[in-house]
Amino acid sequence: MENWKKHLYIIWVAETISLIGFSFCLTFLPYYVQDLGAKDIRQAALWTGLLQTVGPLMLVISAPFWGILSDRKGRKIMVERAMFSGFVILVLMSFVRNLQQLLLLRILQGFFTGTFTAAIVLAASQIPKEKSGYGLGLMQTSIFIAATVGPFLGGLVSDIWGYRNTFYFSGIMVGIAGCMIMFGVDEPEKQQPHDEEKQQTSNNSKTGILFLLIILFLFQCSTTFLSPVLALFIQKISPESRKIATIAGSIIAASGIASVLAALIAGNLAEKKDHRILLGIMLSTAGIFTMLACFVRTTGQLLFLRIFTGLASGGIIPTINTHINLGAKRKELGKTFGIAGSISSLGAGVGPIIGGAIASIYSIEITFVFSGIFILLTGLLCPVLLEKSRIEKKEKLPEISDL
């Protein structure tokens, strides 16, 4: 097996384990905040939205910093920093006694972790440019596998042993992932780019990194409207169930399985097909299925729609990341993906608090409508933005250092 493939697979397995650990806690977070003092479902939605917002917002600040540092000090050590910090913080979360303490730890988690951005930079530094679609598509599946396995196992563990004890399992998994990176991956030697690579970078920089970042932000923001309310919506349409955390985990898991398949397919198509049309179709379809969820009345109906939503949306970020990587200089991968991670985190940070506010002011069902409309509009806007960048390719677009 080629060395880059060996390292890619180790990074992928380690990051998958790490994200499973982090997502262990997400399924029951709305229920945990109720145990910690949230008095009703509206207050639980607001607190859950806040807790899911502060972490990504801290990543907005920290991701470019860690990315630039990775270009100077090494990519491997940044992954180790993120994973071992996550181990400590997750274990500490099991000891909190009120919502304020949990909020503080979420802030620290957002600043010191960010494992996916660190891992994708390390992976991208190992992958040949012509294999970007395959490698980054594979890396994206770690998020969806974690979204599949993590909530399901987390729901089971929390129903059996309680919410607090689940944080121990989370921390241990993230720590194991850090050890895999420490002992299983070597830092690639820095190489000067050949003239051909310099020319490729120059051409690809004109494909519209700036516009891809705008699309990434809009997608992350609109899709995370549902983060603080999905589990509460399941609780609302299935109020008599005793295993509510398991049901919520199962629905999220089914969507994750569909997204894994979509990410693998999109990774192979990203370099071959017109990404303007590909992104537009995926975003528009995902938006329609998201809106339809407001009409469901049973968990079975919701399960059906979430599977199709996963199939539609799973390939969006792999496609964006592939074209960002193709347009980035190898020596600036950390900075480039750091900025992309910051933009993504900004969207993921703004989305939950907006979703929580919409649910609190209007209703949970209306949150699905708002989310779907925003995703659909992003899909309709996508070909327009990327077509503009293609037409203006003879003009100089902003360099990534100017963003």
CA dist 147 and 142 (Å) reads 8
Quick one: pLDDT at residue 394?
42
Instruction: Determine the CATH number of domain 3-183+205-391.
Output: 1.20.1250.20
Is the separation of the CB atoms in 204 and 30 below 8 Å? no
Quick one: pLDDT at residue 195?
47
CA dist 92 and 86 (Å) reads 10
User: Does the structure show a pLDDT above 80 at 75?
Assistant: yes
Instruction: Locate 104 and state its tokens.
Output: 């503080």
User: Does the structure show a pLDDT above 60 at 77?
Assistant: yes
Digit-coded pLDDT (tens) for 145-182: 887 788 778 878 888 888 888 898 899 999 999 999 99
Report which secondary-structure segment, H or E, holds 125. helix 115-126
CA dist 319 and 140 (Å) reads 10
Which of 320, 355, 347, 365 has its CA nearest to residue 139? 320
Digit-coded pLDDT (tens) for 10-49: 999 999 999 999 988 776 788 888 888 887 777 887 888 7
Digit-coded pLDDT (tens) for 175-228: 999 999 999 998 876 655 544 445 444 444 545 778 889 999 999 999 999 988
- Burial of 92 from C-beta contacts in 10 A (0-12 / 13-18 / 19+): middle
Digit-coded pLDDT (tens) for 259-315: 889 988 887 776 667 777 889 999 999 999 999 999 998 889 999 999 999 999 999
The CA–CA distances, whole Å, from 165 to 85, 315, 349 equal 19, 34, 26
The CA–CA distances, whole Å, from 257 to 108, 139, 152, 222, 264 equal 30, 15, 12, 21, 11
H helix runs in 224-332, sequence order:
230-237, 244-269, 275-292, 299-313, 316-326
- State the residue for tokens 């409309």: 373
The CA–CA distances, whole Å, from 91 to 44, 45, 58, 109 equal 23, 24, 20, 11
